[in-house]
């Protein structure tokens, strides 16, 4: 019995850590809803869902800003708080770029480490934009923005993923419940607690239960293998190797829906993913973050004039795109940034970006954003009610 208990202990440890990724930068992990929509986490650890029917979509903020003038490696319109500051700030005019390279997950410009290779713009694309005429560059920028905001396509893919993995998720649930039952039976020494006859019967049935679970496991992996062809990956296909390893190691095969989601969704702006698969509050939170970062950026005073110029151009294009994309969700940039209501009678000013409130004295928030004054005296309930509308 005790060797069975250790086998099960290993099983659960493998299940707990399976699919967890520790990354070098903070990313969004959308999920883990069982249905079509879910919340998100933002951090360097991306955990897959515990539920067998859960899914996961990772999205990284766009690590650069580009405009008619050039390209810089600090993001604008970032959804993450705090946003990633990946490399030493750099800005290049397009004609200055003589070399673009990609190595070990980074894009290099003129031999200097520029930004993480997130897939939003590939190295060859950046090189092509640098070589292009000004008119072509405008088309490039519009094309990239369209590519980063594919909410409709993402929502369609999400429905496909969930629809075509229903049976697989069901089989995963059976194996997970079976493994939990076996663990209770063995670790709780159920056989020793029931009458001797019943204990014997249970001991006889046990191998068949294990065999049955093994068959359900194998069926789920085979079905996932077959469904792969109907859920084509956007980029390179890495899921076959993962499925093969899951076949040999059952604890890795209990989140096949999440496994099949890897590489199935296009690389996008996190806001686009939120609009496609996020809960309404997820959509509102990320939309606010993006709009606030566009309107009240931080760190501008340390930026070079070139970088500032590039970011101004990029922000204008992104803001227009974001306004269009928000509309179907019933959100508007103006509606997102309405002043908060004062949380105490002493509140005199608030930061429009981080929404912190301050009593008299301060005029900028710790991040350097100029504070705004509450228009109506706090404590006047009618004015607060009006602000909340
Ligand atoms: Zn602030």
Annotated domain spans of the chain: 2-59+153-261, 65-150+280-334, 338-389
pLDDT (0 to 100) of residue 389: 41
- Ligand 1: centre distance to CA 259 (Å): 38
Q: Are 358 and 350 in contact (CB under 8 A)?
A: yes
- Ligand 1: centre distance to CA 301 (Å): 15
Q: Are 50 and 180 in contact (CB under 8 A)?
A: no
Exposed (0-12), middle (13-18) or buried (19+): which is 55, by Cβ within 10 Å? buried
pLDDT (0 to 100) of residue 379: 52
- Ligand 1: centre distance to CA 335 (Å): 19
- Ligand 1: centre distance to CA 375 (Å): 18
- Ligand 1: centre distance to CA 378 (Å): 19
pLDDT (0 to 100) of residue 157: 95
- Ligand 1: centre distance to CA 282 (Å): 20
Exposed (0-12), middle (13-18) or buried (19+): which is 47, by Cβ within 10 Å? middle
- Ligand 1: centre distance to CA 369 (Å): 6
- Ligand 1: centre distance to CA 367 (Å): 5
- Ligand 1: centre distance to CA 353 (Å): 5
- Ligand 1: centre distance to CA 370 (Å): 8
- Ligand 1: centre distance to CA 72 (Å): 24
Q: Are 32 and 58 in contact (CB under 8 A)?
A: no
- Ligand 1: centre distance to CA 365 (Å): 5
Give the tens place of pLDDT for each residue, 219-273. 999 999 999 989 999 888 889 999 999 999 999 999 999 999 999 999 999 999 9
Beta 57-59 vs 21-31: how paired, if at all? antiparallel
- Ligand 1: centre distance to CA 300 (Å): 14
- Ligand 1: centre distance to CA 106 (Å): 31
- Ligand 1: centre distance to CA 90 (Å): 25
Residues in the chain predicted with pLDDT less than 50, given as ranges, are 378, 380-389
Residue the block writes with tokens 């109907």:
230
pLDDT (0 to 100) of residue 1: 57
Q: Are 269 and 64 in contact (CB under 8 A)?
A: no
- Ligand 1: centre distance to CA 355 (Å): 6
- Ligand 1: centre distance to CA 247 (Å): 50
SS (H, E, C) the chain: CHHHHHHHHHHHHHHHHCCCEEEEEEEEEEECCCCCCEEEEEEEEECCCCCCCCCCEEECCCCCEECCCEEECCCCCCCCCCCCCCCCCCEEEHHHCCCEEEECCEEEECCEEEEECCCCCCHHHHHHHHHCCHHHHHHHHHHHHHHHCCHHHHHHHHHHHHHHCHHHHHHHHHHHHHHHHHHHHHHCCHHHHCCHHHHHHHHHHHHHHHHHHHHHHHHHHHHHHHHHCCCCCCCCCCHHHHHHHHHHCHHHHCCHHHHHHCCCCCCCCHHHHHHHHECHHHHHHHHHHHHHHHHCCCCHHHCCHHHHHHHHHHHHHHHHHHHHHHHHHCCCHHHHCCCCCCCCCCCCEECCCCCCEECCCCCECCCCCECEECCCCCCCHHHHHHHHC
Kindly report the pTM of this predicted structure: 0.89
- Ligand 1: centre distance to CA 299 (Å): 12
């Amino acid at each position: 019995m005790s060797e069975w208990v250790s086998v099960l202990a290993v099983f659960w440890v493998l299940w707990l850590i399976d699919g967890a990724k520790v990354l070098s930068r903070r990313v969004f992990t959308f999920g883990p809803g069982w249905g079509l929509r879910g919340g998100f986490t933002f951090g360097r650890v991306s955990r897959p869902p515990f539920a067998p029917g859960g899914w996961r979509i990772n999205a990284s903020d766009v690590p650069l800003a580009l405009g008619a003038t050039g390209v810089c490696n600090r993001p604008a319109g970032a959804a993450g708080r705090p946003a990633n500051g990946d490399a030493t700030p750099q800005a290049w005019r397009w004609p200055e770029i003589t070399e673009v390279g990609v190595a070990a997950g980074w894009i290099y410009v003129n031999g200097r480490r520029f930004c993480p290779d997130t897939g939003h713009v590939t190295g060859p694309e950046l090189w092509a934009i640098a070589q292009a005429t000004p008119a072509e560059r405008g088309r490039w920028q519009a094309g990239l923005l369209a590519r980063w905001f594919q909410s409709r396509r993402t929502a369609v893919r999400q429905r496909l993923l969930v629809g075509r993995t229903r049976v697989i998720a069901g089989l995963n649930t059976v194996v997970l419940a079976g493994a939990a039952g076996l663990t209770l039976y063995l670790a709780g020494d159920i056989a020793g607690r029931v009458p001797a006859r019943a204990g014997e019967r249970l001991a006889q049935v046990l191998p068949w239960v294990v065999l049955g679970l093994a068959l359900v496991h194998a069926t789920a992996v085979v079905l996932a293998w077959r469904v792969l062809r109907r859920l084509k990956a956007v980029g390179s296909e890495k899921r076959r190797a993962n499925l093969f390893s899951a076949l040999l190691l059952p604890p890795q095969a209990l989140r096949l829906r999440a496994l099949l989601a890897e590489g199935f969704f296009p690389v996008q702006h996190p806001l686009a993913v939120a609009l496609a698969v996020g809960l309404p509050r997820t959509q509102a939170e990320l939309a606010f973050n993006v709009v606030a970062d566009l309107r009240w950026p931080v760190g501008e005073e340390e930026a070079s004039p070139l970088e500032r110029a590039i970011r101004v151009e990029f922000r204008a294009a992104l803001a227009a795109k974001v306004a269009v994309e928000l509309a179907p969700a019933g959100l508007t940039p103006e509606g997102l940034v309405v002043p908060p209501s004062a949380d105490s009678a002493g509140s005199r000013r608030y930061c429009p970006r981080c929404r912190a409130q301050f009593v008299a004295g301060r005029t900028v928030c710790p991040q350097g954003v100029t504070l705004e004054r509450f228009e109506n005296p706090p404590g006047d309930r009618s004015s607060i009610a009006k602000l909340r509308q």
